[in-house]
Structure 1
Amino acid sequence: MRRRAAAALAVPFSAVMLAVSSCGSIPEDWKTPAFLQSGEEEVDERLPTVTGPVGEEPEVSFPDIAPPSEQISGVVHQGEGEGELVRSDDLLLADIVDYQWTAEGEAEKTQSTYDTGAPVLLQLSQMNEEMSADLVDQPLNSRVVYVFPPQDPAQAQQMGQPSPEPGSTVSIVDIQGRYGKGQTVPGEQTGNGGGDLPTVEDAGHAMPEITIPEDTDPPEDLETVPLVEGEGPEVEESQQLVVQYTGVTWSDGEVFDSTWVAGKDGTPFTFIAGAGQVIEGWDTGLVGHEVGSRVMLVIPEEMAYGEDAAASGAPSGTLVFVVDILGAVDSQPAPEEPASPPAEPEEE
């Protein structure tokens, strides 16, 4: 799915400077979970003490030492079970809480997804190994703490950034879920379209086969056909969706884009529904379907790339997509605009 415009998703957390990319191609059901060490490893005693269940805002106490001048991290709580271990090419669903550690035993909370009710999506393949090492091979419901030393003021100035706050930044990452490479919706495909609409053959952990009906004109309006009935919550506008997809042109049935092609290899795609990041047919056609659904979208030209699509290198005419809705996550609220200072009274 080609985005209409490049719209960066601002994630306001020190530990999250990531973007979506892809690597690897082993289907989810064929992977063998990595070995999980029993028990919890000893953690650096300079880390803050973090208590409370994963899934709730943690309680944090800071040791009576100066904030560390080097980056340290550790797993402070390990989830139970080996069924769903984090893998190095996963897209993680995580809650993150940030603190600014300013002096011995003193810190101030600066950000929290628990406050906004909107966890974030982290693409592990975009994290450096030093940051991802504590996350990979951990089960869901694990908690990792990172301490980042302050940035050098001269370096910040050189990069055009504001002067860093004094002290170290602390990020607490709670692993809430994962989306794996090659993952598809779990339900059985009970419909395949047909009639005057395309037919779709389920290919498991591979690109679905989409067949356009012969000697048939495309529909004039947007058509949405459920192929797998999901059992999750309904997709809402402004949510971040996690999907697999394949798109073909009605005119010749040729695939022009898919998360299953070489180079993507089943890497889930993310976007914000209803925000104009994708074509109108997606923004309109996916909202209201349940998470876990597979949906066929038959999108007329005016809700796809328009009459001038070919001139910009985009596929033209009516398009057909098969989309697996793997997840829907509430988006971070937009930052509040600073209040304008009151106008000074005019002199008489």
Structure 2
Amino acid sequence: MRRRAAALAVPFSAVLLAVTSCGAIPEDWRTPAFMRSDEPELDERLPTVTGEVGEEPNVEFPDIAPPGEQLSGVVHRGGDGEGALVRSDDMIVADIVDYQWTGEGEAEKTNSTYETGTPVLLELAQMNEDLTASLADQPLGSRVVFVFPAQDPAEAASMGQPSPAPGDSVSVLDIRERFGRGDIVDGEQTTDGGEDGLPTAPDAGHDRPAISIPEDTDPPSDLESVQLIEGDGPEVEAEQQLVVQYTGVTWNDGEVFDSTWDRGGAPATFPIGAGQVIEGWDEGLVGQKVGSRVMLVIPEDLAYGDAAAESGSPEGTLVFVVDILGAVDAPPAPEEGASPSPEAG
């Protein structure tokens, strides 16, 4: 049900794209000085990061040349608590502040989600282990600093990318929230649906819901939305990135054609209200509250249309049960004339 989101215009995500696409960090980026989360001391070449997590950090750069190696370290470990530890295959919501480290004690801030008010959503399962090592097993509220060496100009040119800026890039990442396998919305399901000839979907807990289509009943001609659990979070806005669990069945036979639970219960993420999913999702989920479980009955014209079979998509009226786990604002568009984020093939 989702399409890949656009690249994020921050150095951390540029590195993420590179290692996801190419499968490995270049050997000359690896270093024994890479500081893993269980080591008590930070590499002395890392910038000094202070301030409260949840506010933009203060970053001081040492009077040394940029190290030209990948380094990282946990500069603040958040509070402990059940369910609060980040797992290696989680999605996390994080604030990121980026710098370009150009010389001894010299750096320029290039990006701050604290300034834009748009934290980023990162899928750790899509990242190389060398990047996730300092994020996995950290509690929410932790702060991690990364140093990335500049890409080789010749390599960038060979891949059709802009020439990289001189010096190392530095990213300070604050972990705000996590979503993981088996997550569902909180709250008691107050109805199973079923009114006015609509399907039913009893609460299945941490498992795929069983959606039952009423017998000898024609599907509704209009989009129907039934709130099975009413969330208490903010309303979903168009162009946000949603994090959801979902199951979809076809009205004509009640068969499941897609479900996050069939992929190990790993939540899905996609932009909503931006024309990147079927119309019934855009119309039915924008305005719902985060924390809600919603049943959507989507007529054919708001699903895959009468040409669904030609594209291998499910035909006719579709029924979904969706848990809205989170909604994250999209980052602002790059300024006119700004260089695009590099991507790797």
The two structures have a TM-score, normalised by structure 2, of 0.89
Find the counterpart in structure 1 of residue 192 from structure 2.
Answer: 192
Structure 2 stretches of 5 or more lacking a match? 21-35, 339-345
CA contact (8 A) 2:37 2:134 kept: no
1:154-165 alignment to 2 at 5 Å? 154-165=154-165
SS in structure 1 of the partner of residue 261 of structure 2: coil
Confirm whether residue 206 of structure 1 aligns to residue 203 of structure 2. no
Deviations 1:3-49 (A, max 9, x none): 4xx55422112222259x9xxxxxxxxxxxxxxx9998210111111
What is the alpha-carbon distance in structure 1 between the residues aligned to residue 106 and residue 122 of structure 2? 29
Query: Following the alignment from structure 1 to structure 2, what is the Cα–Cα distance between the partners of residues 8 and 274?
Result: 13
* Deviation by residue 1:72-131 (Cα, 9 ceiling, x = unmatched): 110011112132111111001101111000000000001111111111111111111111
The equivalent of 2:217 in structure 1 is 216
Q: Which residue of 1 aligns with 2:12?
A: 15
- The Cα shift of 1:149 comes to 1.1
Instruction: Give the match for residue 336 of structure 1.
Output: 335
Deviation digits for residues 255-289 of structure 1 (CA, Å, limit 9, x no counterpart): 0111011xx21111111111111100000001111
Q: Distance in 2 between matches of 1:82 and 1:191?
A: 32
> 1:282 & 1:227 partners in 2: Cα distance?
16
Q: Which amino acid aligns with 1:265?
A: G
Cα shift at 1:153:
1.4
Question: Which residue in 2 is equivalent to 1:152?
Answer: 152
Structure 1, unmatched stretches of 5+, are 22-36, 340-348
The one-letter code matched in structure 2 to 1:13 is V
Query: In structure 1, what is the equivalent of residue 94 of structure 2?
Result: 94
Residue 71 (structure 2) pairs with residue 72 (structure 1): yes
- Aligned partners of 2:244, 2:103: CA distance in 1, in Å? 44
Q: Structure 1 or 2: larger helix share?
A: 2
Structure 1 residues 254, 178: closer, same or farther in 2, change over 3 A? same
Q: Which residue of 1 aligns with 2:251?
A: 250
Paired residue secondary structure (2:280): helix
- Residue type matched to 1:325 in 2? I
Shift, 1:296, TM fit: 0.2
Distance 1:230 1:40, change over 3 A: farther
Select between 152-161 and 218-227 the one with higher mean Cα deviation. Answer: 152-161
- What is the one-letter code of the residue matched to 1:170? V
Matched position secondary structure for 1:211: coil
Matching of residues 1-348 of structure 1 within 5 Å: 1=1, 3=2, 6=3, 8-16=5-13, 17-18=16-17, 41-83=40-82, 84-195=84-195, 196-261=197-262, 264-338=263-337
Cα separation, 2, equivalents of 1:93 and 1:72: 22
| Alpha carbons 1:236, 1:288 under 8 Å: kept | yes
Q: Report the Cα distance in structure 1 between the residues aligned to 2:316 and 2:152, rounded to whole angstroms.
A: 53
Asked if the contact 1:259–1:267 (Cα under 8 Å) also holds between the matched residues in 2, the reply is yes
1:199 is displaced (CA, Å) by 0.5
Moved over 6 A (4+): 37-40
